Structure 1
């Protein structure tokens, strides 16, 4: 019996050794797969890697607004994916997950510096570690819909805030059932971006160079008052999030809104006309108070992170997938097709990028983009909620602009101590 048991044990161990490693299936957690305009594009990336390797890729999709929360939930249950898409401004938050990998150790610091320009590579750096690689890049800026402006009789792109408001009034009065400006009025993370850009436009720093808030200054109150005025005069609308603005824009019910360069892809999809609609999507400088002012914009991009000791080697299936989707053959079409810049040195130098009129116009409109000052903070998520809550309270008429600014100032001072 002893011999039989030993023989069985040896056989089971041999069988266990022969079982293929589960790492051959790469789990890719992202939000683009959950969007109608992105599902086929992500599926194509996964299929390309499967066809060029012995590995499969499984998409784990969460809505953009839920993906960070689910990353932390998965960290607690030890079910993190191999690779994850992260909005660049949220990387400092995701970098707090213990299982995140330093990609300098996975791919080699010298190799990454040769692959990416320094500015783009810095998108993935937190506390001296390369915890992510840039995937697509650009800015958060304003776009205008050529068809809507022509229908409203608006001549040219407004350059000042006064001209912008006048254009919105024409759209309201001539385009039935329109939301002239698709301002984010729900979802705190979305409200934050519109608020930051208008606060900068009116001269408030939000968080100054000294690390202290500057939201109830004269300029800060003026910014909120401007946003409230747009709501009160039906130039914007309640319950609008970025996805809603994209849909309205493509359906020619919105003339202006803030988005990343991928705005052209959303417009193409929601218009039902595909790429033929892209010439109607016009990147523009954010209107300024004075004609010679500096237009505000926010630095933007998506990055890729990796989790888990099994992926800490450059020859892992997950590492192969990351390098595959960052190759020129895959990255250029993916980024440019979505209206974004591909952040590798070789892709940026390609004829495809240099000859793209839309990306050229976007780059010209992004005069002086500024980093999101909230994202790098350890309590950035809570501060985003504070800003969104107080701004929304003003937009809904629950507080005056001054009251909302004063309350926000007090909350930020306490949070930033």
Structure 2
């Protein structure tokens, strides 16, 4: 993966702490909202585009078709970008830096909000007050976020203002072959790494499990490496960036987390682990060649498909991620919908975002894709829980999840993490050296 340089980021904007729960703490160029399109400029009606990653379910197009049938003068055209998040981000950045109006509504990874807002690439959105008080942007266009999970709301804000609406959430879960564990005499999923390794050893003594790989989390040199590093280090009690906004990698806890990835890749993962991306991991699990896997919720519906595409349909379950001494910590993922500051027909764009993020659309999306919704009530809906038994596990994971480093210069930060962690898991550097080098690289990027 190539390194994507920040474009137009104010030099005085500091990187927020990885564990910070509010983006209002980000430093900047004097406060207030970034210059550019604000809520007063959400005008214009007519055709728009929706820029997103691949829709493998076909559900997005169904929802767009339903919108288009009701809005003949405000048609939406879907523009699909590549699978790899870094490639998506690069294309969106290229469009923004040329101030092109080709992109209207952007489907952003949650960690991009600060970067895009700080660079003045997003229109500010009118948000209704979450509890009491009066809104500074009162009116019918306000976006009501009160029904959404609090953790997801934070991901759409920058300096206390709303720039993106939570569309889907995400948190890593442990997928495991429940059928094989039961045959091996194991009644519960593992809560610790050692319990997971012990379970693997027992399963691989079975005729059905002798050729299966034990475990997989992504360790390729992409955004997924940053996610794996956040989860491993945080589960060990460490962090990448501390509450003061400075890197915190020269700690025993960070070393323990990275050494887990190094040793797992060496002894427990598929031989081709460093070449497998999210979809590659999904196919490996669905082929029946994997006992345990760290994966996102979207895989659930695909792995349970009864069309012959999955050899593990009805044979797996999900649980919280394990950690060194007990349950681990998941990364907070998901996507937010934002309006390009350079788009035409922003009023139509705002209405389309409300449509896609409403409870009815999120319910349909959950049923079709098993992607995590942001509407809290769907996690407790008996019909949804019956169809997706993992929802209570996922809700708890999201509530306790930690984000990746929230950074205005996110491209530089994640590139540094990916590079050093890749060197560690491939044996190019000892874990301690990789962490020391990463500490040095992140220092200037987080300097106040």
Normalization by structure 2: what TM-score? Answer: 0.76
Give the distance between the partners of 2:192 and 2:417, measured in 1 at CA: 25
Give the distance between the partners of 2:278 and 2:309, measured in 1 at CA: 20
How many angstroms does 1:273 deviate by?
Answer: 4.1
What is the 5 A alignment of 1:244-259?
244-259=280-295
Give the distance between the partners of 1:349 and 1:361, measured in 2 at CA: 7
1:302 alignment partner, SS class: strand
CA contact (8 A) 1:339 1:359 kept: no
Which position in structure 1 is the counterpart of 2:12? none
Which structure has greater helix proportion?
1
Which position in structure 2 is the counterpart of 1:103? 125
Confirm or deny that 1:305 pairs with 2:338: yes
How many angstroms does 1:332 deviate by?
Answer: 0.6
Runs of 4+ in structure 1 displaced over 6 angstroms?
Answer: none
CA contact (8 A) 2:104 2:343 kept: no
Summarize the Cα distance change of 1:160–1:121 in structure 2 as closer, same or farther, 3 Å threshold: closer
How many angstroms does 1:305 deviate by?
Answer: 0.8
Which position in structure 1 is the counterpart of 2:407? 377
Q: Deviations over 1:45-90 (max 9, x none)?
A: 1111112221332111112421111001111331441111111122
CA contact (8 A) 1:207 1:373 kept: no
Quick check: 321-330 or 204-213, which moved more? Answer: 321-330
1:303 alignment partner, SS class: strand
- Which of 213, 219, 228 is equivalent to 1:194? 228
Give the distance between the partners of 1:230 and 1:345, measured in 2 at CA: 35
Confirm or deny that 1:319 pairs with 2:350: yes
CA contact (8 A) 2:204 2:210 kept: yes
Which position in structure 2 is the counterpart of 1:41? 59
Give the distance between the partners of 2:265 and 2:115, measured in 1 at CA: 32
Q: Deviations over 1:134-170 (max 9, x none)?
A: 1122422322232454577755311212111223445
Summarize the Cα distance change of 1:111–1:396 in structure 2 as closer, same or farther, 3 Å threshold: closer
Give the distance between the partners of 1:396 and 1:348, measured in 2 at CA: 39
Summarize the Cα distance change of 1:325–1:415 in structure 2 as closer, same or farther, 3 Å threshold: closer
Which position in structure 1 is the counterpart of 2:318? 283
Give the distance between the partners of 1:311 and 1:127, measured in 2 at CA: 26
Give the distance between the partners of 2:412 and 2:169, measured in 1 at CA: 25
Give unmatched runs, 5+ long, in structure 2: 1-43, 127-136
Which position in structure 1 is the counterpart of 2:441? 411
Give the distance between the partners of 2:121 and 2:149, measured in 1 at CA: 27
Give the distance between the partners of 1:170 and 1:346, measured in 2 at CA: 39
Confirm or deny that 1:398 pairs with 2:437: no
Confirm or deny that 1:129 pairs with 2:134: no
Which position in structure 2 is the counterpart of 1:362? 393
Summarize the Cα distance change of 1:281–1:305 in structure 2 as closer, same or farther, 3 Å threshold: farther
Summarize the Cα distance change of 1:363–1:72 in structure 2 as closer, same or farther, 3 Å threshold: closer
Q: Deviations over 1:321-345 (max 9, x none)?
A: 2232234433211124322343246
Q: If you compute each CA radius of gyration, which structure gives the higher value, 1 or 2?
A: 1
Confirm or deny that 1:59 pairs with 2:78: yes
Summarize the Cα distance change of 1:46–1:220 in structure 2 as closer, same or farther, 3 Å threshold: same
Which position in structure 1 is the counterpart of 2:198? 166
How many angstroms does 1:133 deviate by?
Answer: 0.8
- Which of 67, 74, 87 is equivalent to 2:109? 87
CA contact (8 A) 1:132 1:303 kept: yes
How many angstroms does 1:408 deviate by?
Answer: 1.8
Q: Deviations over 1:305-363 (max 9, x none)?
A: 112453333xx2x3332232234433211124322343246756755445444243423
2:439 alignment partner, SS class: helix
1:286 alignment partner, SS class: coil
2:427 alignment partner, SS class: coil
Summarize the Cα distance change of 1:379–1:173 in structure 2 as closer, same or farther, 3 Å threshold: farther
Aligned length: 385
Give unmatched runs, 5+ long, in structure 1: 1-21
